Structure 1
Amino acid sequence: MAKQRMLQFVTVERDMPEKRDANVRNKDFHEIYQEYAAAKAQEQASRCSQCGVPYCQSHCPLHNNIPDWLRLTAEGRLQEAYEVSQATNTFPEICGRICPQDRLCEGNCVIEQSGHGTVTIGSVEKYITDTAWENGWVKPVAPKHERTESVGIIGAGPGGLAAADALRRQGVQVTVYDRYDRAGGLLTYGIPGFKLEKPVVMQRIEQLEKGGVTFVLNCNVGEDISFAEIREKHDAVLIATGVYKSRDLGGPGSGAKGIVRALDYLTASNRASFGDVVPELESGELNAKGKKVVVIGGGDTAMDCVRTAIRQGAESVKCLYRRDRANMPGSQREVQNAEEEGVQFEWLTAPKGFAGDDSVTGVMVQRMRLGAPDASGRRSPEPIEGEDYVEEADLVIKALGFEPEALPTLWGEEALEVTRWGTIKADFRTHETSLPGVFAVGDIVRGASLVVWAIADGREAAESILAHLDAAPAVAAE
């Protein structure tokens, strides 16, 4: 195939994969974007300017070699493009789907700054790896030499899985412990199928299993096995539990039926997509069908909830957020998708309580305005006196973010140092904690963050764990 020139951004316009019609996609949980055809992927990749200082790469937590795999895609050299992509990213097909590219690589694209529209990096990344899976280029891990040392990883989310992959490639024996019945963490049970279809996650789990990673599921550390036992069994331990404790919301009526946590709601919906029987869905407790739904929060989890409620057949779905659209933490792309699908946003509104005796009938809403900037530079919301009303609701979903569980207490390991926020203290270079041979990565260190940062942490920690194993004195045979 003749090579295609790069720097086509002057003559070729940015063109995202087509979205399925909003009135069709809002009735199912399939991904909303169509696949690129080969010619379209090549065309869009050819828009890259191949700039000398690739800001897309430097603003990617994994520092993916984006210009090179865009060039290889434009030239039709897809297997090489996949190999370059896989060299720095354990799960490129997942990042291509769920990374907030508008805030990372694409948001820092040089041609975007010149007014030509960014290269569609995420969509091309997804196309490359989906093609690799279809063509059998993705192989199970096959280390050249097996090592005798073993590493226990607590948490089968993106950070733990990325570390497991990297360690197995070096021949380390890896066991992953997770509280759920399927591996994947939030990739499996937190993110809805319309953003990340579950077979995409499951094929990676299967690849790791075929490569020799052992999964111990339905295993609650501190109950089914102690943290001390895990340390005893392994030469090093990696904590990658994520943060699962939901931030709560008080106020009058906050204990009424029909007020639920975002993660419970999303997990129930995702379980149903696997064909599981979910009693809370059958009973209506975690089902939006026919209900007036109010979601409280403005992050990506809130966006997942409102879009799930639409698909479950809610009568109406409203999202309350205390700041305005420009100051919300969630992806603007997700807000647009939600609006297209029928979600209404009530900006500058905050809950102050709930109406209803036994079951919730509404949210008491206080109108807000933006005042002076806070410590982070964002303008702080402040109430407007006398401006309040009741928003009718049969189901209220709290999507206010997540906090770490008190792991030292839960695990009976008070020597595990944590910050004042409850996150684990870990060296920012090596990821080692206050306990020798125990490392920690992802949200349990950072607080609630992005999947791509967890992957980056997991890969880095694997390098540190290997160095730790190499430095450990050999145990004499008895």
Structure 2
Amino acid sequence: MSTKMLSFVSVSQSQPPRRGAAERRNDFDEIYEDFAPEQASTQASRCSQCGVPFCSIHCPLGNNIPDWLMLTAEGRLEEAYAVSQATNTFPEICGRICPQDRLCEGNCVIEKGFESVTIGAVERYITDTAFEKGWVKPDLPVRELESSVAIIGAGPAGLAAAERLRAAGHQVHVYDRHDRAGGLLIYGIPGFKLEKDIVARREKLLEDQGVIFHLGQAIGTGDGEVTLMQLREQHDAVLIATGVYKAREIGGPGSGLPGIVRALDYLTVSNRRSLGDAVPEGELDATDKDVVVIGGGDTAMDCVRTAIRQGARSVKCLYRRDRANMPGSVREVKNAEEEGVEFVWLAAPEAFLGDNAVTGVRAQRMRLGMPDATGRQSIEPEPDGLFTVKADLVIKALGFDPEPLPELWEAKDLEVSRWGTVKIDRERFETSISGVFAAGDIVRGASLVVWAIRDGRDAAAQIDHWISERASASASASLAAE
């Protein structure tokens, strides 16, 4: 083992420099800076190089974290990048937006007594340095194949699959209804967590690798749209990686009032504005408004922190459980509180007030009850617990469900689950339609970007295998005919 490791007994955990709350409230720039080289090396050296690396086990991608931490501690950054990118298509993105406190860092062996290694920050530092030094190159295929694959969706699952399939030599075409590649990485995640040039940089690498993008191309049966069956006929295989975009709604009196908006609509307009696009002013702008965000996940955290930066008069987040049971990242909650967001715990909306537009939210105070069948505590209303929160903009961040693809695409043979997710063979990623595969959130439901990357890479391997098998079978049949 390297003599540079195991320094956690003498070196305290240190995060990268972070801009002050007063400064970062005024822009959408990322709040964390990169480690300085010496700091990155020192923090990486805190790794215990344990025999059973729980950080890797709890990483959806199975990243070889102890290995690239040791290489970073020894100053061997080009090798560290090589190890990192071997399992992760977008390490610089995961280093920025993964909830490390729930995954690798939250399961670090030294975490209990000495605080975890700052894995995410080191991962980001390694890849940013690799880009700066020119070590990041497109993974060009050794040989070109005649087979082609269509990928529907340019989000993390689709892009991860595109990179792997192209590296294997297939001709890859990515179709997306938006005008930029990236999906939620571009339009859903604010710039203060992931600046958009980071995503554009990866898109350029994929283009240099030979991936062909068809942006602004919707799938369906309308004018200018292409059908799923047309893609199946034009390509050897098709991968559905659309993600899930159908917002979960909330009922109750007044739920249809103007001023009550969906989280993704709100974030998309904000991100488009930051990208320089012309967007309509008004309902989807928090400037000088009392904002209430309903929900407790990472999307809710994106919304409250965006509203602060837009100059909201006040920003409150209503969540029906307590802080300990909040699904969003603990780090994000802390950042939001520093920036001026008020969290109203154990509060569930009951009705929305107003005549011509929303003016407030009537909420019910809740308390935690007995655990349910999953072990999670149930919630029940407090007696006489009604209260009102002033609001002239309410953002619903309650999660996402799949869009009804068989109906939208007129693809009745595409089987879906009772939740609307696309059914696949779990080993082969193939759907009920031969040669059509699916991966990412459209299969597993709304989840993390890192899981989408894992699914995209795994689906690509299965598609490559499927095409190879068919080519071999065809070649064998031709020889037999001769």
In structure 2, the residue matched to 1:71 is: 70
In structure 2, the residue matched to 1:250 is: 251
Give the superposition deviation at 1:19.
1.4
1:341-360 superposed matches below 5 A: 341-360=339-358
In structure 2, the residue matched to 1:23 is: 22
In structure 2, the residue matched to 1:384 is: 382
Query: How many angstroms apart in 1 are the aligned matches of 2:110 and 2:385?
Result: 45
The answer to whether the Cα contact below 8 Å between 1:296 and 1:396 also exists between their aligned partners in 2 is yes
1:45 aligns with 2:44: yes
Query: How many angstroms apart in 2 are the aligned matches of 1:376 and 1:397?
Result: 29
Give the superposition deviation at 1:374.
2.2
> Aligned with 2:300: secondary structure?
helix
In structure 1, the residue matched to 2:428 is: 430
In structure 1, the residue matched to 2:9 is: 10
Q: What is the number of equivalent residue pairs in this alignment?
A: 470
Query: How many angstroms apart in 1 are the aligned matches of 2:298 and 2:104?
Result: 18
In structure 2, the residue matched to 1:272 is: 273
The normalised TM-score by structure 2 is 0.96
Identity %: 68
> Aligned with 1:387: secondary structure?
strand
The answer to whether the Cα contact below 8 Å between 1:4 and 1:75 also exists between their aligned partners in 2 is no
Query: How many angstroms apart in 2 are the aligned matches of 1:431 and 1:4?
Result: 44
> Aligned with 2:114: secondary structure?
coil
- Runs of 5+ consecutive residues of structure 2 not aligned to the other structure: none
Give the superposition deviation at 1:364.
1.1
Give the superposition deviation at 1:95.
0.3
Query: How many angstroms apart in 2 are the aligned matches of 1:188 and 1:266?
Result: 10
> Aligned with 1:388: secondary structure?
strand
1:421 aligns with 2:419: yes
In structure 2, the residue matched to 1:238 is: 239
In structure 2, the residue matched to 1:126 is: 124
CA RMSD for the aligned pairs?
1.0
> Aligned with 1:293: secondary structure?
strand
The answer to whether the Cα contact below 8 Å between 1:4 and 1:46 also exists between their aligned partners in 2 is no
In structure 2, the residue matched to 1:183 is: 181
Q: Which amino acid aligns with 1:245?
A: K
Query: How many angstroms apart in 1 are the aligned matches of 2:148 and 2:109?
Result: 44
Query: How many angstroms apart in 2 are the aligned matches of 1:466 and 1:236?
Result: 9
Query: How many angstroms apart in 1 are the aligned matches of 2:248 and 2:372?
Result: 20
> Aligned with 1:129: secondary structure?
helix
Give the superposition deviation at 1:398.
0.3
- Runs of 5+ consecutive residues of structure 1 not aligned to the other structure: none
The answer to whether the Cα contact below 8 Å between 1:236 and 1:465 also exists between their aligned partners in 2 is yes
Give the superposition deviation at 1:13.
0.7
Give the superposition deviation at 1:395.
0.3
Query: How many angstroms apart in 2 are the aligned matches of 1:434 and 1:67?
Result: 40
1:149-168 superposed matches below 5 A: 149-168=147-166
Once structures 1 and 2 are overlaid, which stretch shifts more, 136-145 or 148-157? 136-145
Give the superposition deviation at 1:428.
2.0
Give the superposition deviation at 1:385.
2.9
> Aligned with 2:454: secondary structure?
helix
The answer to whether the Cα contact below 8 Å between 1:141 and 1:210 also exists between their aligned partners in 2 is no
Deviations 1:145-203 (A, max 9, x none): 00000000000000000000000001100001111110100001000000001000110
Once structures 1 and 2 are overlaid, which stretch shifts more, 361-370 or 298-307? 361-370
Query: How many angstroms apart in 1 are the aligned matches of 2:314 and 2:252?
Result: 24
Give the superposition deviation at 1:358.
1.1
Deviations 1:417-460 (A, max 9, x none): 11110001112222111111111111111110000000000101
Query: How many angstroms apart in 2 are the aligned matches of 1:334 and 1:299?
Result: 10
1:300-319 superposed matches below 5 A: 300-319=298-317
Q: Which amino acid aligns with 1:278?
A: V
Give the superposition deviation at 1:371.
1.1
Query: How many angstroms apart in 1 are the aligned matches of 2:138 and 2:263?
Result: 35
Once structures 1 and 2 are overlaid, which stretch shifts more, 149-158 or 420-429? 420-429
Q: Which amino acid aligns with 2:123?
A: E
> Aligned with 1:110: secondary structure?
coil
Query: How many angstroms apart in 2 are the aligned matches of 1:166 and 1:453?
Result: 16
Query: How many angstroms apart in 2 are the aligned matches of 1:321 and 1:375?
Result: 22
Give the superposition deviation at 1:416.
1.0
Query: How many angstroms apart in 1 are the aligned matches of 2:448 and 2:47?
Result: 25
Give the superposition deviation at 1:4.
5.8
Query: How many angstroms apart in 1 are the aligned matches of 2:54 and 2:352?
Result: 47
The answer to whether the Cα contact below 8 Å between 1:4 and 1:74 also exists between their aligned partners in 2 is no
Q: Which amino acid aligns with 2:198?
A: V
Once structures 1 and 2 are overlaid, which stretch shifts more, 34-43 or 104-113? 104-113
Deviations 1:192-225 (A, max 9, x none): 0000010001100111011111111111111311
